Amino acid sequence: MRRTTQVRLFGVVAAAALLLTACGGGGIKNNTTAGGTKACGNFNIAVNPWTGYVSDAYVVGDLAASKLGCNVSYKNVKEEVGWQGMSSGTIDTILENWGHADLVKKYITDQKTVVDAGQTGNEGIIGWYVPPWMAQKYPDITNWKNLNKYASMFKTSESGGKGQLLDGDPSYVTNDEALVKNLNLNYQVVVGGSEAALIQSFRSAEKNKTPLLAYFYEPQWFFSEMKLVKVNLPKYTPGCDSDPAKVACDYPPYHLNKLISKKFDDSGSPAATLVKNFNWTNDDQNLVSQYIAKDGMKPADAAQKWIDANPDKVAAWLQGTGATS
């Protein structure tokens, strides 16, 4: 599953830039607090650095504050730091987990300090993509076996004479270094930065008709703006990625799940029930993310707009929490 290095971006427009800034260094930092009563108590939500996760966090956080009376704090952290926080008790939940078999073993299986809280309903895809113009002009580029033929097109000042494969935030899960090596590709992985940086790279490449091969993922609101084309890597089969150093296959499909700390689960907090009930689609998440990243809405306002438009889904999530309408 998504392994040691990870690549997904935060990137939102100015309205959400504060969230990205708060992630600096990967440590735990409070961002905002929504006031509530002591009926629920404190509810600490990890916020990982990509817009889709921000959508998860603020929709759940809004309901926890407004319907359950929780004192909600958003903790902007990298993924592994969020697991550490759940184990130590400083974070109550991660709302979108991308596998991490090593962390599952450490914190769920061995230490038993973290609990699987069920599926989010989101289906995750990771892969390599090119802008639409490239797939139209070079249709065979979508087969990995032809990438070396085009490597010289992707050279940059940072790729050391090889083709550049652009990755995102270094905290994201990625097998790209191993894939380049094991597939004998004449490429160099170059870290591009945030989700926003990746998106801007695709925009520039499409506008200026410049070559770009980059790591990207779904769910992702940006696909509603630009139909990126995925490169077909060797087909994923169960176990083909079991040894991180020997990976030579595509990324697996990810059935994204939620996590809560064991201490939080045992507390009986109504927010723990809300987290377990929370379930939506890629389209739901992408819509909230588009409000944030493209329309410039504040995350809390974007969450509230979606909540107001989806009362039936919200009511299902609040079942068993004791919330009043």
Give the tens place of pLDDT for each residue, 171-201. Answer: 887 999 999 999 999 999 999 888 999 999 9
Last residue of a domain, one of 212, 246, 280: 246
One-letter identity of residue 230: K
Same domain for 177 and 86: no
Q: Among 223, 246, 269, give the residue marking a domain's end.
A: 246
Q: Are residues 94 and 198 in the same domain?
A: no
- Give the per-residue pLDDT at 99: 85
Q: What is the mean pLDDT of residues 126-131?
A: 97
Task: Supply the CATH number for residue 198's domain.
Answer: 3.40.190.100
Both 105 and 139 in one domain: the answer is: no
Six-digit token string for 24: 């600096």
| Domain count of the fold of the chain | 2
When pLDDT is averaged across residues 289-297 and rounded to a whole number, the result is: 96
Q: Are strands 70-76 and 41-47 parallel, antiparallel or unpaired?
A: parallel
Q: How far, in whole angstroms, is CA 80 from its chain's centroid?
A: 13
Instruction: Report the C-alpha gap between 154 and 101 in whole angstroms.
Output: 33
Residue that terminates a domain, selected from 194, 225, 246: 246
pLDDT in tens, 237-254: 999 999 999 999 999 999
User: Stretch 33-56: mean pLDDT, rounded?
Assistant: 81
* pLDDT the model gives residue 173: 79
Min mean pLDDT across 18-32, 54-68, 118-132, 188-202 is at 18-32
Tens digits of per-residue pLDDT, 200-236?
999 999 999 999 999 999 999 999 999 999 999 999 9
The answer as to whether 75 is a domain residue is yes
* 158 in the same domain as 180: yes
The verdict on residue 202 lying in a domain is: yes
The whole-model pTM stands at 0.83
Residue 166 belongs to some domain of the structure: yes
| Full residue range of the structural domain in which residue 224 is found | 125-246
